[in-house]
Amino acid sequence: MSLSSSNTYSHPCSYRAQHLRCVGGILFSGNDAVLVEGSPVNCPVCEGIGRLITAQGEELLEFCRIYLQPMITETVKKALEEKL
C-alpha cells in the first residue's frame, strides 16, 4: 500500500460547498470542472492535491523535515562537491 492511498497518513478531500465539490483536487459543479480563464480551479481546502493529511501524516512530515531533510541535503552536497 502506498502512502497516498493509506488512510493512516491522509484521506481523500471531501470538500463540498455552494454546489461545488472536490474531485482529485479540482472543483466540480455537477459533472463539469469549474474553469477560470480556461483552467480548472483547485480546491481551496486540499490546495489541488485531492487528499488531506491526518495527524499521523503531520508527524511523519515533521520527522522527515527534522531528520531526513538534513541528511539528504548533506549527501547531495557531498555528491556535488565530488563531481565538481
pLDDT tens for each residue of 31-68? 999 999 999 999 999 999 999 999 999 999 999 999 99
Mean pLDDT within 63-80: 94
- Report residue 4's pLDDT band, with 50, 70 and 90 as the boundaries: very low
Q: For position 49, what pLDDT does the model report?
A: 94
Going by DSSP bridges, is the β-strand pair 10-12/20-23 parallel, antiparallel, or unpaired?
unpaired
**Residue 67 φ/ψ region, left for φ over 0, alpha for ψ in the -120 to 50 degree band, beta for the rest:** alpha
> What DSSP line would sit under 12-50, residue for residue?
E---EETTEEEETTEEEETTEE-EETTEEPBPTTTTTSS
Residue 1 reports pLDDT greater than 60: no
